[in-house]
Structure 1
Amino acid sequence: MARLIHRLYNERAFRRERVIRDRSNPLDLYNDEELIERFRFCRRDIYELVEELSPDLQYVSDHNAALTPALQLLIALRFYANGAFQNTVGDMINVHKSTACRAIRRVSLALSHRLPRSAHLPTEAESAVMKRRFRRASGIPGIVGCIDGTHVRIQAPSEHEYLYVNRKGYHSINVQIACDANYKIFNLVARWPGSTHDARILRESALYQDFEAGRVNGLLLGDSGYPLKHWLMTPIIAPRTEQERRYNTIHTTTRSLVERCIGVLKRRFHCLHGEMRMHPERVCTVIAACTVLHNICVTKMIPLPRQHHQPVPEEGVDPVDHAGHEDVGGRLVRTRIINAL
């Protein structure tokens, strides 16, 4: 018995005591401009996000000094904004790395659940507005949006590592993004490993089914990595006439809008610009969360921080292998557009 008591005493003596740190609240330290610089949202917008997300973030009790929804949101926003390690983000609020990691996870899940409401297909009224804007910009009638793929770099996963190596040689998640003329993302698919071809991601998506079924009245513009469909216009691989070359020029210029949208997304939330050291499933959740926040910024016209006022378009080149498949309806629609131009 004495030996047992002595052992328990030694274990308690060398056990690391749990310390509840004094936490700082950035909302008490920074003005609106500084908040946008660090968290991408001003004070009023942060309070609105806290109010909306509180049901998902509020702990049942304050046992063990649980983080408030506001502090959890600020930790996640800081991570999205600069992509720093969790311990660096935690130091801002003065919490441990594991606490910061849990906060980022909880906020990302809460935001990702709101993706269907944020990134929804355009309504008839919205489609009409987008068609007019694209028509004035390009001269091509009926366009409602542009589609493209982008890669978010990740750390090599422990399972099925080879599937995540893209054609540029690094590990990534291949993300499908479709946006309108206002840079608002109305379709996001973030679940495929980097080696997956853009055409397959589209073919397996709900967006493909909606356009094929005629639930959306309008055209999308995509690069040669996508198949030519009656609702998806792609460039001509080997143009032979002046009209076809002009169509390709206008197509490329107009489709660059989605590249700029991706550039704005990644520069507003820099965690998507570097390598994300998380499990691929968690990376996809963060991508969805950042998309929801991006659409909020577009709707509220929240400016980019000063050093990001002129985002560079997303780097990329046309796919090495084009989709190849061209249906008859797609060729007829494209020919009609070329003749009209």
Structure 2
Amino acid sequence: MDDNIARIVDIAVDLAEPLLDLAELFPAERPEITRNENYYEVTIPNYSDTQFQEHFRMSRETFEVLLQRVQQFVEVTRIPLRKKLLFTLWTISKQNSFLEAGDRFGFAKSSGHGIFIEMIRVLGQMCQTYINWPNLEAQMHIANVFQRRSHGIPGIVGAIDGCHIQIKQPEGNAFDYYNRKGMHSVILQGKYSRYI
């Protein structure tokens, strides 16, 4: 049996050798991909404050504070952290694919996806520092304030809402992401209380 396998391997190698020679004669060229040039370097710095807020859903000042706080959690790489964070905020704020967002920031789709995952993990680590449920005393205070402002609705500590963020149909479990609006999405859920 082992002799048969060895002979099959020899035959396969003999058949493949001419193909290897052809591959050397005609090397595969990666197509040149045209991407937006200088969006991060030129366009974003020239945005007015209003344009920056519209595109990234926060003021420049808030972005700078976020950038400083994120720096503690990230190792220095060849891609500037500012660019990674802006790319991630763009991706969260828009309904663009990684291909579209990556094109704008000069990243390949796979690089953009990796950057997005890295930044989301960092933001996830940070969230427990900034999102805290109030203690019982604070909950009672919040409920009293809310009751006064709502003209009598008792026991409210905060408000919660959500929205659908459209995504491409995921492989494997697309049904789990299909919503009543007839699209595939993930749900962003947010809570609000000025005290939380």
The alignment's TM-score, normalised by the length of structure 1, stands at 0.42
In 2: Cα distance, 1:114 partner to 1:87 partner:
27
1:143 lines up with 2:159 in the alignment: no
Q: 1:97 & 1:134 partners in 2: Cα distance?
A: 46
Letter in 2 for 1:112: G
The one-letter amino acid of 2:29's match is R
Q: Residue 134 of structure 1 aligns with which residue?
A: 146
Structure 1 residue 154: deviation in Å? 4.5
Matches within 5 A, 1:152-301: 152-165=165-178, 171-173=184-186, 177-180=190-193, 182=194
Letter in 2 for 1:10: F
User: Could you tell me which residue of structure 2 aligns to residue 252 of structure 1?
Assistant: none
Which residue in the other structure is 2:13 paired with?
A: none
Q: CA offset at residue 70 of structure 1?
A: 0.5
Q: For residue 50 of structure 1, what is the amino acid of its counterpart?
A: L
* d(CA) in 2 for partners of 1:19, 1:158: 26
Deviation by residue 1:254-290 (Cα, 9 ceiling, x = unmatched)? xxxxxxxxxxxxxxxxxxxxxxxxxxxxxxxxxxxxx
Q: Using CA pairs below 8 Å that are at least 6 residues apart, which structure has the higher relative contact order? A: 1
Question: Could you tell me which residue of structure 2 aligns to residue 51 of structure 1?
Answer: 68
Quick check: 2:161–2:191 contact (8 Å CA) kept in 1? yes
* Structure 2: distance between partners of 1:51 and 1:57: 11
Partner Cα separation in structure 2 for residue 35 and residue 8 of structure 1: 49
CA separation in 2, counterparts of 1:3 and 1:141? 77
Match of 1:96, as an amino acid?
A
Distance in 2 between the 1:28 and 1:149 partners? 32
Give the superposed CA RMSD: 3.7
5+ unaligned residues in a row in structure 2: which ranges?
1-16
CA distance in 2, matches of 1:157, 1:52: 33
Q: Aligned to 1:138, what secondary structure does the other structure show?
A: coil
Structure of larger gyration radius: 2
Q: C-alpha distance in 2, partners of 1:33/1:52?
A: 23
Compute the displacement of 1:69 (Å): 0.6
Q: Aligned letter for 1:143?
A: I
- The number of residue pairs the alignment matches comes to 176
Residue 83 of structure 2 corresponds to 71
Q: Which residue of 1 aligns with 2:11?
A: none
* Structure 1 residues 35-75: Cα deviation after superposition (integer angstroms, max 9, x where no partner): 1121122223222222222244434x53xxxx211001111
Identity of aligned residues (%): 24
Residue identity matched to 2:151: S
1:85 is aligned, of 75, 97, 104, to 97
Deviation at 1:19, TM superposition (A): 7.8
Mark the CA change 1:87 to 1:167 in structure 2 (over 3 Å): closer, same or farther: closer
Q: Alignment partner of 1:90: what SS? A: helix
Deviation at 1:90, TM superposition (A): 2.3
- Alignment match, 1:40: 57
Cα offset, 1:77, TM superposition: 1.2
From 130, 133, 153, the equivalent of 1:118 is 130
Matched, 1:16 2:33: no
Cα distance in 2 for partners of 1:93, 1:105 equals 16
Contact 1:58 1:68 in 2 (8 A): no
Q: Within 5 Å, which residues of 2 pair with 1:1-12? A: 7-11=23-27
What TM-score, normalized by structure 2, do the two folds share?
0.67
Aligned 8 A contact 1:134 1:144 in 2: yes
The alpha carbon displacement at 1:142 in A equals 3.8
Give the whole-Å Cα distance in 2 for the aligned partners of 1:120 and 1:176.
16
Q: 1:69 to 1:6 in 2, by over 3 A?
A: same
Per-residue deviation, 1:153? 4.9
Letter in 2 for 1:105: I
